[in-house]
Amino acid sequence: MANENGDFFAKRRFCVTGGAGFLGKVVVRKLKERGAQEVFIPNIEDYDLTQLTSIQKMLDDAKPDVIIHLAAQVGGIGANREHPGEFFYNNLMMGVQLMHESWKRSIEKFVAIGTICAYPKFTPVPFKEADLWNGYPEETNAPYGLAKKMLLVQSQAYRQQYGYNSIFLLPVNLYGPGDNFNPASSHVIPALIRKCVQAVDEGQNEIEVWGDGSPTREFLYVEDAAEGILLATEKYNDSEPVNLGSGFEISIKDLVHLIADLTGYQGSFRWDTSKPNGQPRRCLDTDRALKSFGFKAQVSFEEGLKHTVAWYQENKERIK
């Protein structure tokens, strides 16, 4: 890393909400690799970030120059359908109050992490940031997507009125070692890996999969996502939203067969078409990230999947 890079990270105190989570652990590791000496990770037991008094206590304790707000209540389609009120309220209150308090305390920079779920259901592919407001999000995850999208509105409003330096990043679905493999709340890749590995271990010859397999998705390896976030933290100072993606699109049906190959599952799949497909297509235009702060994903999808499968197979005994 260049000296100026080292100076940026070495001279500032960072607070990473969600720093103990899947993405957060990688972001924190990469912060330290870049020379950051002071990285504060609030844990959920000590700080309930939906509560204003808790946010204020965290900022008193952390005294940050830069906040990277990764904390979120997240889940797959099932979890979003079961908890739409919680997903809306908790994500909105965490983000909006935290950014407001950061502005009030003149914290140098606020890095807000949005979600691909903020895009309209029928967005032209590849998704361009300019299309963010051209329709309502896909219904199953709209409450979550809109709650996170309010941070973009707030970022732009606070920059316009107060000159506050906050940025808003839109990562596509993440995956990688250390992902959430809990069947009640996991996203599609860990859910499928778990099902396939379990089927192999137990000698099952059929697996149920939601939907009809036709939707497409784009996935970003967690190491790449963390790299993009830190490049933006250092180099990007604008409130225009920025996509973080890999530029690679795959159908759920092809994804299922690829994971089956990598896990050694040779049985069949039963597609439950009574369950929702979710958004029809997802693939991001990633030009703005490349032009604005030089981010381009480095890990190929198959390579990332191999690492993720290997991690799960090594750790499955301790994962509930």
Percentage of the residues of the chain whose pLDDT score is greater than 90: 85
Closest CA to 213 of 152, 154, 260: 260
At residue 134 the predicted structure's pLDDT band, cuts being 50, 70 and 90, is: very high
Residue 132: pLDDT over 80: yes
pLDDT tens-digit map of 178-196: 999 988 778 899 999 999 9
Residue 4: pLDDT over 70: no
Active-site residue 312, yes or no? no
Select which of 47, 119, 144, 164 is catalytic. 144
Q: What is the per-residue burial (b if ≥16 Cβ within 10 Å, else e) of 42-60?
A: beeeebbbbeeebbbebbe
pLDDT tens-digit map of 216-258: 999 999 999 999 999 999 999 999 999 999 989 999 999 999 9
pLDDT value at residue 5: 53
pLDDT, mean of residues 284-313: 97
pLDDT, mean of residues 254-279: 93
Could you give the CA distance from residue 126 to residue 165 in angstroms, rounded to a whole number?
Answer: 28
Pick the CATH number of 3-179+219-247+283-300 from 3.40.50.1860, 3.60.130.10, 3.40.50.450, 3.40.50.720: 3.40.50.720
Residue 6: pLDDT over 70: no
Lowest mean pLDDT among 78-87, 100-109, 134-143, 242-251: 78-87
